[in-house]
Amino acid sequence: MKVIQVVGARPNFMKLAPLHRAMSTTPIEQKVIHTGQHYDAFMSDIFFEQLQIPRPEYHLGIGSGTHSVQTAKMMIELEVIFNQERPDWVIVFGDVNSTLAAALVCAKNGIKICHVEAGLRSYDRTMPEEINRIVTDQLSDLLLTPSIDGNQNLEKEGINPEKVILVGNIMIDSLFWSLQWIEKNPNTIKPALDLLNQYQLEPQNFILVTLHRPSNVDDPIKLNKIIEALGEISYQKPVLFPVHPRTKKILETLSFNNYPNLHFETPLGYMDFLYLQKNSLALVTDSGGIQEETTALGIPCLTLRENTERPITITHGTNQLIGNDFDKLKYELKEIIEGRGKKGRIPELWDGNTAKRICDIFMKML
């Protein structure tokens, strides 16, 4: 059996790593295509190195562009490779443009598609990722869900339940593996340790921030309000903000007060960010993956979005939706600082063994 795994952006790499590692112990032939959707070294290359993923057999180097242009370029390149390789299965992850492009090409060429992290829904079709999720799930032959709400969503949409299997959250596989790696190899997180020393940040005594969604960072007025809210909180607890390249461009155009305890930094590798996350008091984010990681780590998470495709992080975990209510953001951060942050529990099958369960499914097909 030949399997091709398609990735293109930072969230994909954390999902690829444990599955590639697990499949390497089986007779399954696997190859990796990196579309180059994320082309910045800190957003792409460093993840292959830190997560110990072999270099992909194909790197398309697609780069930036509108959603339509990016997806179209990927489809053209992927079709050539799929026709050349003729895989039995193509595995796609999550909800990025690379995921949609691969699914569309497979559907047009009669190649079976497996979607890892199927069934998640925000029910907000203004988000490009929501379109990617819906279309990919409709086209997939095997839909592997991270949580029971994924199964429920797919059932509502009329997906044949025989194609849907609850396997757990593969992001948590990477999380647990990486934490063990850091413990054994502390030299791998020197940039994170340097930041803690530079700003004299004590464990569980600082706020960590990450923002990248257009709805938050492309509007200068809104981004300015977010910075002001974080700046006010920084008088109570230091705030560390590794700035995504997209966010940095807008941030440089803004004029705001100088907050001595609000620290802007360059992007970090996965291991470094994970170490800071594990040692933070709370996260402020608009990332889907971080909502999951904080739930697994038991760390309060405040999400600057009106909705989430990961509602289990709210019903079971430590996550809260803040939306555009920056007074609520300040209030909830104060609650956390005073020891009244939201508690949660780890959802079913978020145990670090999801990749093994996926491998078992493919081995039964042999």
Active site residues: 212
Within a 10 A sphere around the Cβ of 348, how many other Cβ atoms? 13
What is the residue type of 146?
P
Contact (Cβ atoms closer than 8 angstroms) between residue 35 and residue 74: yes
Minimal CA–CA distance to 188: which of 366, 20, 52, 306? 52
d(CA 284, CA 329): 9
Contact (Cβ atoms closer than 8 angstroms) between residue 323 and residue 305: yes
Q: What DSSP element (H or E) covers 210?
A: strand 207-210
Number of helices (H), then strands (E), belonging to the chain: the values are 16, 13
3-state secondary structure of 209: strand
As given in the structure block, the two tokens for residue 127 are 């988000």
d(CA 170, CA 168): 6
DSSP, residue by residue, 312-365: HHHHTSSEEE-TT-HHHHHHHHHHHHTT-PPP--PPTT-SS-HHHHHHHHHHHH
d(CA 9, CA 129): 12
Q: Which residue has the tokens 């369960």?
A: 357
